[in-house]
């Protein structure tokens, strides 16, 4: 049998928001309970081309499949008219070791599970009556975080803060086209929203802790390397609750780690994000809460399994 | 552009013995000079299914591509009528990070580069007038090692030693069909050949050091895990020259490592195999020589590049 390769269109046909949200939530819960396996990743560096490659594997224990995800970043590509990032996901049976499929989806499922995880945690941790959403950043995740959160709760206004005014305006136009109310905002305005999501590659904090109002929830999804940092340690020091999607990763290369190294919080100050998706959160109305999300490899496996399972149901010849 | 997937037939059409031998030799030489990159592999275990997965990456520095090879072994599969081993090789541009192709060849190129490396080293290290070949084992590599060595030098008789007489006879029939002279042999007879190649999954030595005659060359290719062991430490102690394809790997999980741990040789007693492929070896007629080969990830990259390069020349639309 020839190896099935699923491109972005094939994934788009079956990966409904419901499927992505369910798989992401279930996998985050399994991860919080230690029912996942995520071995140390494999790295290659290509200094002569300003490139790198990361290979990450993950599985939900007792799940039908595991995934091996290859992601490359070659940062001189854009100057040559090529995307900086490439990669693919191999989905392999955890029962037989057979490669079930290769997902050549241009990172679509990774982007969606990142959006789903951010939306799930923001929704679970924000006040029930929170309505305004502050977004830092103007890239793909800035759009997706607003779009996916709107699937879980009504949003009053989206306040978009970006360093480049044109890009902030363009994102507002995109969000408006999706049926949301959105306008460009200063950093102070965006930080003063009821819910705040940071989606930037910043290396110094993008908002000031004293601009965040009591009762606000803040989710950071951009910090994925030790030198990156979006949320100030003072904000985490103020937080009544800090959720991390993976304790060790967030300590190593998340905003939580920056706060720990700054002495603002202790290394045991976090709660596994998945636990907050299991039972409704009782939060004091004036509390500030923070979610630090660095991406969990087991979520990729759960999502790929769900997509293949759905595909096998709908298109038996393709499974 | 959709992702090219090359199956075994596609690989067979372009991977001529010349191409495989040249790519393997050049990569082993580059590896001997430190001009390759092989990061630590990534492992996953599936104890509930008696399975494992190894992900290995490799590149020849300044080469056009690198490879990420996924290999699984699920040892209950045969009872269910499935192969125990599955996997694939992703070939990725070292200039742009783009995935150039997926090789879904059922391990064909891995088997061929293993055969080519064994044949190249056996040919380079054996006496010029060596003719008889002793083969331990009756599996795929037993056949391939004889077949590929015969491409490099004439072989008088192949003496096949296997634990199962039927399988030894079947292999002799296969070798005869390939135009070689072959017959089943005792372990003592096979060990007394001019050239000896061991290709078994043995966990205790398959031959006795005192059965090996002066002037013999012995290549071991079966030992690829710390608990496996084909060649007795006493044989390596007797050897005038020990070649290893990768010093650290052979120390860690090759026959060389067993000899070092047994105190038979020192940890610096080996010579990089690639060096012996560069310049003709001057060996005393009575010397015993040994090659311990554990497989070098960079050879996979070199071979995959060569195959894709050849394919692009012959079938421009497929590259």
Nearest CA in chain A to B1: A7
Alpha helices in B178-246 (DSSP H): 187-191, 233-238
Of residues B78, B31, B98, B19, the one with CA closest to residue A49: B98
Contacts of B63 in chain A (CB under 8 A): none
The mean per-residue pLDDT over the stretch A183-189 comes to 98
Helix (H) / strand (E) element for A43: namely strand A42-46
Query: In the prediction, which pLDDT does B310 show?
Result: 87
Residue with the two structure tokens 């541009």? B93
* 8 A C-beta contact, residue B290 and residue B218: yes
Residues B85, A92: Cα–Cα separation, whole Å: 12
- Overall average pLDDT of the A55-65 stretch: 93
**pLDDT tops 70 at residue A296:** yes
Average pLDDT over every residue of A247-257? 96
Which residues of chain B, if any, have pLDDT below 50?
Answer: 317-319
Interchain CB distance below 8 Å, A104 and B99: yes
Residues 36-65 of A with CB under 8 A from B: 37, 39-44, 46, 48-49, 51, 53, 55, 57, 59, 62
Contact B155, B149 (CB under 8 A): yes
Q: Which of B5, B7, B70 comes nearest A68 by C-beta?
A: B70
The number of CA neighbours under 13 Å toward the Cβ of A196 is 32
Q: CB of B116 within 8 A of CB of B24?
A: yes
- A92:B41 CB<8 A: no
Q: What does DSSP say about strands B36-37 and B51-60: parallel, antiparallel, or unpaired?
A: antiparallel
Give the start-to-end residue ranges of the domains of chain B: 5-109+298-318, 116-296
Cβ–Cβ below 8 Å for A39 and B40: no
What is the least distance, in Å, from the CA of A78 to any CA of chain B?
10
Is 60 exceeded by the pLDDT of residue A166?
yes
Cβ contact B225:B164 at 8 Å: no
Q: Which of A84, A97, A104 sits opposite B73 (nearest CB)?
A: A97
Q: Per-residue confidence at A1, pLDDT binned at 50, 70, 90?
A: low
Calculate the alpha carbon distances from A282 to A119, A120, A125, A126, A129 in Å.
Answer: 18, 16, 9, 10, 13
Q: In Å, how far is A137's CA from the nearest CA of chain B? A: 26
Q: Identify the pLDDT of residue B224.
A: 84
Spatial separation of the C-alpha atoms in residues A182 and A180, rounded to whole Å: 6
**What's the alpha-carbon Rg for chain A, to the nearest Å?**
19
pLDDT confidence of residue B200: 94
The count of other CB atoms within 10 Å of the CB of residue A282 is: 5
Euclidean distance between CA atoms A32 and A275, whole angstroms? 6
Quote the CA–CA distance of B242 and B232 in Å, as a whole number. 13
**Tally of CB atoms within 10 A around B13:** 14
Which of A97, A98, A301 to mutate to probe the B interface, most B CBs <10 Å? A97
Longest dimension (CA), chain A: 60
Q: How far is CA B91 from the centre of its chain?
A: 20
Window B:101-130, CB contacts with A under 8 Å: 102, 104
Report the pLDDT averaged over residues A11-38.
96
| Gap from A51 CA to chain B (nearest CA, Å) | 7
Chain B residues touching residue A74 (CB < 8 angstroms): 95-97
Query: How many inter-chain contacts (A to B, CB under 8 Å) are there?
Result: 140
Per the structure block, which two tokens stand in for A290? 């923070």
Please judge whether A3 and B102 are an interchain contact, meaning their C-beta atoms are less than 8 angstroms apart. Answer: yes
**Given this model, what pLDDT does residue A82 score?**
92
Instruction: With a cut of 90, say whether residue A310 has pLDDT above it.
Output: no
Please judge whether A41 and B40 are an interchain contact, meaning their C-beta atoms are less than 8 angstroms apart. Answer: no
Calculate ∠ Cα A201-A203-A208, nearest 5°: 100
- The answer, for A309 touching chain B at a CB cutoff of 8 Å, is no
Q: Which residue in A42, A53, A98 is closest to B86 by CB distance? A: A98
* Strand ranges, E, within chain B: 5-7, 36-37, 42-46, 51-60, 65-74, 85-93, 99-104, 133-136, 158-161, 182-184, 195-198, 217-220, 241-244, 270-272, 289-292
Nearest to A42 among B7, B42, B82 (CB): B42
Residues of B in contact with A7 (CB under 8 A): 2-3
The verdict on a CB contact (< 8 Å) between A42 and B46 is no
CB atoms within 10 A of CB A309: 16
* Exposed e or buried b per residue across B271-298, where buried means at least 16 C-beta atoms within 10 angstroms of its C-beta: bbbbebbeeebebeeebbbbbbbbbbbb
**Nearest of A65, A34, A104 to residue A296 by alpha carbon:** A34
Please answer whether residues A138 and A168 qualify as being in contact, where contact means their C-beta atoms are separated by less than 8 angstroms: yes
Q: Tell me which of B53, B96, B99, B300 to substitute to probe the interface with A (most A C-beta atoms closer than 10 Å).
A: B96
pLDDT value at residue A126: 97
pLDDT recorded at residue B314 = 67
Longest dimension (CA), chain B: 60
Burial class of B224 by CB neighbour count within 10 A (0 to 12, 13 to 18, 19+): middle
Tens digits of residue pLDDT in A88-127: 999 999 999 999 999 999 889 999 999 999 999 999 999 9
Closest CA to A252 of A101, A89, A38, A13: A38
- Rounded to two decimals, the ipTM of the complex is 0.84
Token pair belonging to B60 = 């020849």
Answer left, alpha or beta for residue A255, where phi above 0 means left and psi between -120 and 50 means alpha: alpha
Confidence at residue A70, expressed as pLDDT on a 0 to 100 scale = 95
CB spacing of A42 vs B43 below 8 angstroms: no
**In the beta sheet, which residues pair with residue B43?**
B54
Please say if the pLDDT value at position A316 is more than 70.
no
Contact criterion met (CB < 8 Å) for A88 and B99: yes
Q: H-type helices in chain A, by residue range?
A: 8-14, 17-32, 108-125, 140-149, 165-177, 187-191, 233-238, 247-253, 255-261, 273-278, 297-314
Positive or negative torsion for Cα A246, A252, A253, A257: positive
Q: Which residue of B has its CA nearest to A3?
A: B104
Question: Which of A86, A92, A95 is nearest residue B98 as measured by Cβ atoms?
Answer: A86
Sorting pLDDT into bands at 50, 70 and 90, what band is A315? low
Q: Which of residues 261-300 of B touch A (CB under 8 A)?
A: none
Instruction: Report the residue of chain B nearest A73, measured CA to CA.
Output: B97
pLDDT of residue A13: 92
Minimal Cβ distance to B94: which of A7, A46, A59: A46
The reply to whether residue A99 touches residue B70, judged by beta carbons under 8 angstroms, is yes
Q: Does domain B116-296 fall into CATH 3.40.50.720? A: yes
Distance CA B133, CA B195 (A): 5
Strands A36-37 and A51-60: antiparallel
Residues of B in contact with A40 (CB under 8 A): 42
Asked if B95 lies within 8 A of A70 by C-beta distance, the reply is no
List pLDDT tens digits, range B275-296.
999 988 889 999 999 999 999 9
Instruction: Return the H-helix or E-strand segment holding B309.
Output: helix B297-314
Cα A306 to Cα A65: distance, rounded to the nearest angstrom: 10
Q: How far apart are CA B271 and CA B185, in angstroms?
A: 31
Q: Give the residue carrying structure tokens 């939530």.
A: A25
Of B53, B59, B92, the CB nearest to A92: B53
In this complex, do B85 and A92 lie within 8 Å of one another by their Cβ atoms?
no
Question: With respect to CATH, is domain A111-296 assigned 3.40.50.720?
Answer: yes
- CATH for the B5-109+298-318 domain, from 3.40.50.970, 3.40.50.720, 3.30.1780.10, 1.10.10.10: 3.30.1780.10
Tell me the sheet residues that pair with B72: B53, B86
Partner-chain contact B3 A104, CB within 8 Å = yes
pLDDT of residue A318: 42
Q: Does B78 touch chain A (CB under 8 A)?
A: no
Residue B2 carries which DSSP code? Answer: P
Instruction: Answer whether A5-109+298-318 and A111-296 agree in fold.
Output: no
Nearest CB among B53, B70, B97 relative to A53 is that of B97
Compute the average pLDDT of residues A277-296.
93
Cβ of A98 and B49 within 8 Å?
no
Mean pLDDT of chain A: 94
Q: Check CB contact under 8 Å for B5 and A3.
A: yes
CB B307 within 8 A of CB B15: yes
């Amino acid at each position: 049998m020839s190896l099935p390769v699923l491109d972005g269109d094939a994934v788009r046909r079956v990966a409904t928001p419901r499927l992505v949200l369910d798989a992401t939530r279930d996998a985050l819960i399994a991860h919080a309970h230690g029912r996942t396996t995520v071995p140390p990743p494999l790295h290659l560096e290509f200094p002569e081309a300003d490139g790198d490659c990361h290979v990450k594997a993950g599985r939900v224990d007792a799940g039908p499949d595991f995934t091996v995800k290859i992601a490359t970043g070659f940062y001189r590509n854009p100057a040559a008219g090529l995307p900086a990032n490439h990669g693919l996901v191999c989905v392999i049976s955890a029962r037989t070791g057979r490669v079930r499929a290769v997902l050549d989806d241009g990172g679509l499922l990774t982007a969606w599970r990142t959006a789903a995880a951010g939306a799930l945690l923001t929704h679970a941790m924000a006040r029930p009556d929170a309505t305004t959403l502050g977004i830092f950043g103007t890239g793909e995740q800035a759009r997706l975080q607003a779009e996916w959160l709107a699937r879980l709760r009504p949003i009053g206004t989206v306040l978009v803060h970006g360093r480049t005014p044109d890009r902030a305006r363009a994102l507002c136009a995109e969000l408006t086209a999706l049926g949301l109310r959105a306008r460009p905002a200063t950093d102070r305005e965006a930080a003063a929203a009821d819910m705040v999501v940071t989606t930037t590659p910043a290396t110094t904090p993008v908002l000031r802790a004293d601009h965040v109002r009591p009762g606000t929830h803040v989710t950071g999804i951009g910090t994925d390397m030790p030198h990156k940092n979006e949320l100030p340690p003072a904000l985490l020091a103020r937080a009544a609750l800090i959720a991390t999607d993976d304790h060790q990763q967030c300590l190593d290369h998340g905003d939580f780690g920056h706060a720990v190294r700054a002495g603002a919080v202790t290394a045991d100050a976090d709660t596994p994000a998945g636990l907050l998706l299991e039972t409704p959160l009782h939060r004091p109305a004036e509390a500030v809460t923070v979610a630090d999300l660095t991406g969990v490899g087991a979520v990729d496996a759960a999502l790929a399994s769900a997509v293949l399972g759905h595909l096998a149901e709908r298109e038996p010849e393709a499974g």
